[in-house]
């Protein structure tokens, strides 16, 4: 149940607190340095591109980041959030509404 696409770019190895359980990463995704990715996360293509994720981003369990979106450095994506729009730096996105809350 895990797929890290050949060609996915990681600035540094991500921290995977639960291992590689159910993590899907598009082959065109770009992941910044020092990111934390929990289990059952999807970072996938759609809407003409793949996600670009900044440095020091935390992606909670079950979160989905889909399409040509940019996730700003220092942001936190909550468990089960679905992100299809850009997220500014140091923002917090929560589920189920996917509301963006700036710290």
> Any idea which residues carry the catalytic annotation?
27
Q: What is the CA radius of gyration of the chain?
A: 12
CB atoms within 10 A of CB 41: 24
Tokens (6 digits) for 97: 């509404």
Tokens of 13: 């190895």
């Amino acid at each position: 149940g895990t797929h890290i696409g050949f060609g996915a770019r990681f600035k540094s190895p991500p921290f995977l607190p639960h291992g590689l359980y159910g993590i899907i990463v598009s082959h065109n995704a770009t992941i910044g340095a020092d990111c934390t990715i929990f289990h059952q996360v999807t970072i996938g293509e759609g809407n003409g591109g793949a996600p670009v994720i900044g440095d020091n981003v935390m992606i909670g369990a079950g979160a989905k980041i889909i399409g040509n979106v940019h996730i700003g450095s220092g942001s936190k994506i909550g468990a089960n959030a679905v992100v299809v729009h850009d997220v500014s730096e140091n923002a917090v996105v929560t589920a189920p509404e996917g509301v963006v809350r700036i710290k």
